[in-house]
Structure 1
Amino acid sequence: MTKRLLPLLLLPALTCLAGNALAEKADRNKPMNIESDTLHHDELKQTSIFTGRVVMTKGTIVLRGERLEVTQDPEGYQSGVAVAAPGERAFFRQKRDSAPGQPEEFMEGEGETIVYDGRNDTVKFIRRAELRRYRGATLADEVSGSIITYNNLTDQFQVDGPKSSAGAPTPSSKAPRVRAVLVPKEQPAPAPAAPGPAPALRPSPAMGGEQ
């Protein structure tokens, strides 16, 4: 059985604030469409819980998991918490705004839990988290850690390693650490140098007929 998001949740979010947003700017204003096996909606709490092979799309955003809880605040901002099936990871992907003539860029990430905050336009990947940036079909940057928080508006991310029950970083050398591979952007090829002036003609000392 397939369930689609109720008209209530299809209302677009409020117009995003102007700024140096590098994510696809229109995504926050696009309707949220969701498919799943089951749906439980609570009109009073303004929440919808989707379970079973959940796929959410919102503009260029794609979010997949086994369970997705969607909420909408009084201002119309939509948020969601996606949880993967045991042993798997939820998936997130979004297109970036690209300068004219540049290849398309995509941000892609995975985690056992993914939290999408529509009001602040942030995505948090929790446990076995990975975040990747693609330029066209080429993998550019890649980071992994316990928790990754990515800000779509500022194009900044923070990566945290595992923490102890007290909240401090785990001191064990065997614990997985934050790892990152950051590839520099290709520089545009330099413009070809302008051709120099043609060499001046010199008079020949020999005239026609001379030996």
Structure 2
Amino acid sequence: MTATGLRASALLCLSLSTGLIGTTPAHAARDDANKPLSISADKGGRLDVARQRTEWNGNVVLSRGSMLLKAERMDIQEGSDGYYLAYAQGEAGKPVNFRQDRDVAGESIQGYADQLEYDGRSDTVRFIGNAVVRRMRGSVVADEVSGAVIVYDNRTEVFGVEGGQGALQPNGRVRLVMSPRGSASAPAPAASTPSLQLQPSPGLQPLRKTP
């Protein structure tokens, strides 16, 4: 199979939706978008007031409510509408890390990759290169997905996963591990707690890159 064929065959979507018709889905922490954005770094940064753009270097930490983003380098731009676009880059042996609470008590989304793009307008996170994203119940991994590129939509809680070059698995394959309900390794979710479901993918929509 060609690289193009492998890339196309390894494209899928995963939805953190309820398995019960008529039940309200859980989402990422909704009040995070209303919280102030905070940034710190070891090596300082640069602020371009005219372009509303900042660059930070050295153990950069960005937080907004329950959302926490850590990277070696980060480039952040604020649009005229007040939304932020962030590009984060790790280094060898130290990938970019992301964490955000869900609206399910004790659950969070955690992930890491070589690079990460966050689009505040669409509330979408794009993990690029050796990407891994997990749904956690406390300190226990409930579900895990890995691939070359993972796009996570905070509003709909849908993951777009793409295989190919840059995936952790051999031959660029994507991988999904799901804990059974009521397993000994993870606590059983409540009846309304959503679980991962495979769905046909409509195709990944790339985020804008910071100019």
> Once the two structures are superposed, what CA deviation does each residue of 1:8-30 show, in whole Å capped at 9, x if it has no partner?
xxxxxxxxxxx967110011111
Query: Structure 2 vs 1, CA of residues 163 and 85 (structure 1 numbering), >3 Å: closer, same or farther?
Result: closer
Match of 1:181 in 2: 177
User: Residue type of the partner of 2:172?
Assistant: P
Q: What are the within-5 Å matches in structure 2 for residues 1-211 of structure 1?
A: 22-36=27-41, 37-98=43-104, 103-162=105-164, 175-185=171-181, 186=188
Give the Å deviation of 1:79: 2.1
SS of residue matched to 2:87: strand
1:74 & 1:155 partners in 2: Cα distance?
Answer: 27
Aligned alpha-carbon RMSD (Å) = 2.3
Answer whether contact 1:21 1:154 (CA < 8 A) is retained: no
TM-score normalized by the length of structure 1: 0.70
1:116 & 1:48 partners in 2: Cα distance?
Answer: 14
1:62 & 1:163 partners in 2: Cα distance?
Answer: 27
Structure 1: gaps (5+ residues): 1-18, 165-169, 190-211
How many residue pairs match? The answer is 160
User: Residue type of the partner of 2:125?
Assistant: V
- Which has the bigger relative contact order, CA under 8 A and spacing at least 6? 2
Structure 2: gaps (5+ residues): 1-23, 182-187, 192-211
Answer whether contact 1:21 1:152 (CA < 8 A) is retained: no
Query: Structure 2 vs 1, CA of residues 57 and 96 (structure 1 numbering), >3 Å: closer, same or farther?
Result: same
> Which 4+ residue blocks in structure 1 deviate beyond 3 angstroms?
none
User: Residue type of the partner of 1:77?
Assistant: Y
1:34 & 1:187 partners in 2: Cα distance?
Answer: 34
Answer whether contact 2:165 2:172 (CA < 8 A) is retained: no
1:88 & 1:149 partners in 2: Cα distance?
Answer: 20
